[in-house]
Amino acid sequence: MCACSEMAEATFSQDKFSCPVCLDLLKDPVTIPCGHSYCKCCITNCWDQEDGKRVYSCPQCRQTFSPRPALNKSTMLAEVVEQLKKTELQTAVPAGPGDVECDICTGRKHKAIKSCLVCLNSFCQNHFDQHENLFKGKRHHLMDATGQLQEMICCKHEKLLEIYCRTDQSCICVLCMVDEHKNHEIGSTAAERTEKQRQLDETRREFQQQIQDRLCEHSEMIFTELISSIERRRSEVTQMIRAREKTAVRRAEGLMERLEQEIDDLRKRNTELEQLSDTRDHIHFLQSFPSLSDPPGSPDVPSITFGSYDDVEQSVSQLRQKLEDFCRQEFEKISGKGKTLKTFNTSLILRR
């Protein structure tokens, strides 16, 4: 590496060698008469649009030139930029699965850290630094990098969806407010998020209570009714009871599967609500809230009545001993982990 490259890298930050038009590191850099540098293709495209006026201007300082200046490659600047590209590849974080990619990076994409709602682009650390230097003193709306940037923009007016129409239950932009949503009840997305957050928290509490109720029903109802039925029918020793016993067991298993599925559904919905509650994206929150606020399944749990059972003394004695041994073993395991008795009862059902 030559001395001028080392000095440039040590003295200047990368944004000093970025094209003001594309915001990326200079490609085939050229310097125009006013002293500003651009990618050759970028300044060429700008000046091609001014051919009709025969007067050519600098996109930065607006100085004009006539006739059109010739563009010659800046060899020294190109060498410095090439070295900076190597440095960027060593320090930048490549975008991985699930990461938001930088919209400015060419070739290999790097992980974006911020999104700009004015520029409608997401930036990696390098290009974010360039963005901040370029728009220093200007109020650009920045947020953590999001892959849902387009969802936050009005598809009709290309404006930020920063207003919430309570009349139509939708996010709108300032132009929508004076157009098709005129005279509607409106408010800010932040204020509506606060209200919907309150509703979401209440819904989550209801879901959590339903989960607890299902666990109680799941662990207590089945055993209580089963034991009660066995005690009532133990004197009826007939082959008919054997057949009814099989039917009752199948019904009980079906109910248990249903309860387990409802618990899984409630847990899944509760997780989704928890994730939605933590998001800082107002638009995504408001758009997702209606589909997640209704509880899955039915709040009512059907009861099951067991018929008569064959009360063969030896079989019942063996079953009782097995149940007692199993309960004791499970209780010892759970007690060692500081679990509650309610969790123990649930474990018995789920492990059955």
pLDDT given at position 249: 79
Question: What's the mean pLDDT when you consider all of the chain?
Answer: 77
In a domain, 63, yes or no: yes
Cβ neighbour number for residue 343 with a 10 Å cutoff: 14
pLDDT digits (tens, 9 = 90+) for 312-334: 556 667 767 876 786 677 667 65
Q: Output phi, psi for 284, to 5 deg.
A: -60, -40
In a domain, 222, yes or no: no
pLDDT given at position 199: 92
pLDDT given at position 2: 38
| Side-chain half-sphere exposure of 291, counting CA atoms within 13 A | 7
pLDDT given at position 342: 47
pLDDT digits (tens, 9 = 90+) for 180-211: 898 899 998 889 989 999 999 999 999 988 88
Helix H segments across the chain?
A: 3-11, 40-48, 75-91, 125-134, 174-177, 189-216, 222-233, 239-278, 282-292, 313-336, 341-350
Q: Which of 60, 91, 122 is the last residue of a domain?
A: 91
Domain count, the chain: 2
Max avg pLDDT among 135-144, 300-309, 343-352: 135-144
pLDDT given at position 303: 56
Which has more pLDDT, 126 or 42?
Answer: 42
pLDDT given at position 117: 81
pLDDT given at position 340: 46
Whether this prediction's pTM lies above 0.85 is answered by no
Identify the three-state secondary structure at position 255.
Answer: helix
Q: Output the domain CATH number for residue 42.
A: 3.30.40.10
8 — pLDDT class (breaks 50, 70, 90):
very low
Q: Which of 56, 91, 126 is the last residue of a domain?
A: 91
Of 170, 115, 167, 181, the closest CA to residue 146 belongs to 115
pLDDT over 90 percentage in the chain: 12
In a domain, 249, yes or no: no
Q: Chain-centre distance of CA 208, in angstroms?
A: 22
pLDDT digits (tens, 9 = 90+) for 233-264: 666 655 666 676 777 778 888 888 888 888 88
Judge whether residue 50 has pLDDT over 80. Answer: yes
Average pLDDT rounded to a whole number, residues 140-160: 82
Identify the three-state secondary structure at position 29.
Answer: strand
Q: Which of 46, 72, 91 is the last residue of a domain?
A: 91
In a domain, 198, yes or no: no
**Domain range for residue 64?**
3-91
Q: What is the DSSP letter of 149?
A: T
Containing 163, the helix (H) or strand (E) segment is: strand 163-165
Lowest mean pLDDT of 34-43, 55-64, 79-88, 171-180, name the range. 79-88
User: With contact defined as beta carbons under 8 Å apart, do 149 and 162 qualify?
Assistant: no
